[in-house]
Amino acid sequence: MAIDYQERIPNNVDLASNRTLQRALEHWQPRFLDWWRDMGPTDFQSSEVYLRTAISVDRKGWASFGHVKMPDYRWGIFLAEPTPDRTIGFGDEMGKAAWQQVPGEHRSTLRRLIVTQGDTEPASVEQQRLLGLTAPSLYDLRGLFQVNVEEGRHLWAMVYLLHAHFGRDGRDEAEELLVRHSGDADRPRILGTFNEPISDWLSFFMFTFFTDRDGKYQLMSLAESAFDPLARTCQFMLTEEAHHMFIGHTGLARITKRTVEVMTELRTDDPAAVRAAGAIDLPTIQKYINFWFSSAVDLFGSEASSNAASYFASGVKGRPNEANYADHMALDQSFTLDRPDGRGGVAREDIPLRNALNETIRLAYIEECQTFMERWNHTIAEAGVDFRYRLPSSRFNRNIGVWAGAKTDLDGKPVSGETWAAHATDWLPTEADRAFVHSLMRPVIEPGKMAAWIAPPERGINDQAVDYEYVRLA
Ligand SMILES: [Fe+2]
Ligand SMILES: [Fe+2]
């Protein structure tokens, strides 16, 4: 059956006149839809969801709202508008023309970066596929599905690059992106974190706050790439990504608000009493923060990385907001790095700044997380409750980098195995904590109603009321 691709796949890459690309996508699109049906959200495929669809990149077109069934969502292909005569903004190739085609010497590196980024997008949809069954409100159910369809579009964005610029290899990689599955014993997703199911909404909001924000920093680094089509693709993805982090931030703010409301009503700071009232106690939320923060900071990679240095040198991948730096070469500076000394202490060493780029980007990320967390703390303080959230040290509970496997306390101070064992249940969610959070997960599907553990949002989506019918259940 002939498909009108201009209509079916909104795009600004002139798909209609590119026969090769069209043919590749004609082959891939039905497989994507099969994947969506098999691995995407369960049970809601015939419900009508109030979704934002990008139909162009200008102000008006990238956010058009309406009720659609998810399989009918129009996954499009968009690149930010080109910068005329764009040049490379950093590294050894600084000032030369940006690449419109993939240079042979960077082909495999670029392909790997695109595939790794692309793999996380469908992975998160797979991780979240059961969450719709326990949504705390229709507003939140819509938020989940908005994130899911856009992660699907981000997969399209990466598949477009693979199809358009990497020939046969790229088409094979695009197939593989639909074959690997989150948590699959034989064909797992590439990055470890993306193989853990997300089965409760506290984790979903943590994921969209911490993990999607890592995604934002990765996209910002790729948005600086000398490979112009990649840079422009990532620039547009960032506009959508912002909403995912909004969902995470406001979700956690609303949970916090509800918890301190319950504490105020009951005049208690006893976590057991808060739980008995059907809200999530602050110490449990803190443990989830410790867990999700440490898993997200791992995603930035090792503190000392020769890969990061060579990506920067060659122009393949830069630093977020490179234009804000005074020195785009990063050649003569060094960075002081702390690492475990193997004797229970900390050793200091100076490494070239280019090798420390993962760490400098991670530090910017941590600062941003901290800023948002202070808003939640403000809510707690206003209620007169004596508790503050804090981010653990980035050394805590790491699996990647120089602190991988090291036992430290929340301040990053190395501790013995015994001390760790004695405190781990205070620092990270226990089975009992997870079981409690799970016990709260009951669907609330009446428009405007909220589960007891989360406050309503301050306003609805796209100027609609909070009690708008965001999802018309089939
Ligand atoms: Fe994404
Ligand atoms: Fe996202």
276: Cβ contacts below 8 Å, ≥ 6 apart: none
Mean pLDDT of the chain: 95
Which residues, given as ranges, of the chain have pLDDT below 50?
1-2
401: Cβ contacts below 8 Å, ≥ 6 apart: 298, 301, 302, 303, 358
Name the burial class of residue 197, with classes exposed (0-12), middle (13-18) and buried (19+) by CB atoms within 10 angstroms of its CB. Answer: middle
Say if CB 100 and CB 228 are below 8 A apart.
Answer: yes
Q: How far is the CA of 386 from the centre of ligand 2 (A)?
A: 33
Report pLDDT for 1: 42
Q: How far is the CA of 333 from the centre of ligand 2 (A)?
A: 33
Rounded to whole angstroms, what are the CA distances from 219 to 88, 111, 203, 347, 364? Answer: 17, 15, 22, 32, 14
Q: How far is the CA of 179 from the centre of ligand 2 (A)?
A: 20
Report pLDDT for 6: 62
Report pLDDT for 55: 79
Cα separation, 235 vs 311, in Å, equals 18
- Three-class secondary structure of residue 238 per DSSP: helix
One-character DSSP codes across 251-262: HHHHHHHHHHHH
**Residue among 254, 279, 247 at smallest CA distance from 375:** 254
Q: How far is the CA of 318 from the centre of ligand 2 (A)?
A: 20
Report pLDDT for 20: 83
Report pLDDT for 373: 98
Q: How far is the CA of 215 from the centre of ligand 2 (A)?
A: 7
Task: Name the token pair of 283.
Answer: 């110490």
Q: How far is the CA of 112 from the centre of ligand 1 (A)?
A: 17
Q: Nearest ligand to the C-alpha of residue 243?
A: 2
Strand order in the sheet with 471-472: 64-69, 48-53, 471-472
Radius of gyration of the chain (CA): 23
Report pLDDT for 4: 61
Q: How far is the CA of 212 from the centre of ligand 2 (A)?
A: 5
**Residue among 116, 144, 375, 120 at smallest CA distance from 243:** 144
Q: Nearest ligand to the C-alpha of residue 153?
A: 1
Q: How far is the CA of 77 from the centre of ligand 1 (A)?
A: 14
Q: How far is the CA of 211 from the centre of ligand 2 (A)?
A: 8
One-character DSSP codes across 325-346: -S-SS--S-EEEEEEE-SSSSE
**Residue among 126, 153, 318 at smallest CA distance from 220:** 318
